Amino acid sequence: MTVDPPSFTDVVASGLLVDPTVIAGDPATARDITAVAVMMLPEIGPWLRPNQLLVTSTTVLARLAGTIGDFTARLGRNKIAGLVVRLEEGCELPGGIADDVAFPIVTTSDDIVAGHEFAQGLAEMAKTQVDSVLRADHLRRGLLEIVMAGGGYKALADGVAQSLGGAVLITTPDGRQTCRAGADADFCWLASTAALDSTGRVRTDALDGGLGLHRFDDEYVAIAAISANGIDHGRLVLFCPGRTLASEDLYLVEQAATVCALVVSRELAVSAVEEKHRANFVRDLLRGRGGDPEQVIVHAQMFGWNLDRNIVVVAVEPDVLDDDAPTAPARLPVLERQARAFVGAVAGRDPGAAVTALATEIVIVMGESSDTMTLVHELVAQVRGAGGGGRLPFGVGVSRAASSTADLPALYSQARTALEVGRKITGAWAVTHFDDLGVYRLLSLVEDTDELESFARETLKDLTDETAEAQDMRRTLEVLLATNINIAETARQLHFHYNTLRYRVAKLEKMLGPFTAHPELRLDLSLALKIIAMRGINS
């Protein structure tokens, strides 16, 4: 028989607490209590569960790293049933603790009553938390020695895996793997679970925000955020098939992630200076101020770039959208995140390519391949993932190939034209080669855009209206022109009856003129339709 969990009021009245006093919230509307938990240290996150009655003291609350408002808000997000605070001599309640809380807060004058039925397991939980602090201190010391010796992510991953006895992944905030440590069999197990998508990316969005303990059958994965200066830089993932991970393991992973953040801060300081020099050099190349091609090639080699070959320029620009919803911690700007994603994707396919984030775009100077567009599509697919690093859409333009760095300004102009026109024609996620633009290349050179739009409206007349009928008739006209006025083929493509299409042709000619008999008018209509597609008139 299933027993309903006790209410908050029943637990408080059960004799568990000494002199309980409600100072905030409404006990009558509180969640039923499924467990009582103790909070012996400020970093209580790994031990929080919904419907808990959390017991702590004023001494512990005084040691919180953040504000009391942030702490109670976090408890509310974790849907605890209530908070019990033991009042200790010489340590008062934090100011504002009772402000705008979503659960009852009760004070008590003494420890909870030992031996009470609701107090079972609390002593063991308290001991576990204290032991975790000691283990975390030992772990931090070992990892800090690695950092002080100049070790990076790979060395830290090895250290965490050895200390915690499992396999470790370090990823970007959106789950792309940057390094790993542990047994191959463990990674094979992880790949078989829903923790990874088909591209090998950790599903940081699908797994309850990506943080915490996640269960897959009888195994667990612990994931913590690597954040520095309030910015989210990635995830530290621990898994150990065959050993059950618990809250204390998540706590240790969170502490290890704080040391990983030191490596982030160190590398950011170094890369910021290097990136500034790289970006300035690329800007000069794209403006034709790079100097003699032989000197440019030598200078580029200092950055690890190979420009002594046939090269193409790829321009990548994020779509103008509102950035991500607020997160804790905040994330890097979209452009920088996508630039890092492209650096990782390009490194595995063309190590000598230059990838640089400029003010509003990412510019890639890479070698020409046997099928450059296939390679570009592979890069985009890797960055985008299964909805992935490219969760926020971007457009891509690809230039022709050239054999000299002196041609870079022209190649960049081609890539920008392909990007801008391709985005107008295709929309989000457009990947466009300059040679695929056709007549759009010529239309993009017309500076008087008002004249273009006027020509389109005068040529297509009522077909430029915003109505569904106008859009439907435009589609009919497009297919007619594409099939060179082949009525039967147009009817087949549009799934119309032959007579229905002949009626539509008569209606279009009455509106636009006898285009079936005049090639010049068909050319005007075709150009007008392309102007609408490119300029976004009524799109």
What is the pTM (predicted TM-score) of this model?
0.59
Count of positions (residues) in the chain: 539
Query: What is the per-residue pLDDT across 414-466, written as a single tens digit (0 to 9) for each?
Result: 999 899 888 878 878 899 999 888 887 777 767 677 877 888 888 888 888 88
Query: Which residues partner with 56 through β-bridges?
Result: 85
Phi, psi dihedrals of residue 331, rounded to the nearest 5°: -110, 165
3-class SS letters over 210-262: HCEEEEECCEEEEEEEEEECCEEEEEEEEECCCCCCCHHHHHHHHHHHHHHHH
CB count, 10 Å around CB of 431? Answer: 23
Query: Which residues partner with 235 through β-bridges?
Result: 171, 225
Query: What is the per-residue pLDDT across 361-395, written as a single tens digit (0 to 9) for each?
Result: 999 999 998 899 999 999 998 888 654 444 678 99
Q: Please say whether the beta carbons of 39 and 52 come within 8 A.
A: no
Query: What is the per-residue pLDDT across 290-312, written as a single tens digit (0 to 9) for each?
Result: 889 999 999 999 999 999 999 99
> Whose CA is closest to 325, among 392, 395, 386, 383?
392
DSSP state of 121: T
Q: Which residues of 209-241 are buried (b: 16+ CB within 10 A; e: fewer)?
A: ebbbbbeeeebbbbbbbbbbeebbbbbbbbbbb
> Is it the case that residue 1 has pLDDT exceeding 50?
no
The pLDDT value recorded for residue 539 is 43
Between the CA of residue 419 and those of 93, 114, 428, 431, 530, what are the distances in Å? 59, 70, 11, 7, 16
The CA distance from 428 to 422, in Å, is 9
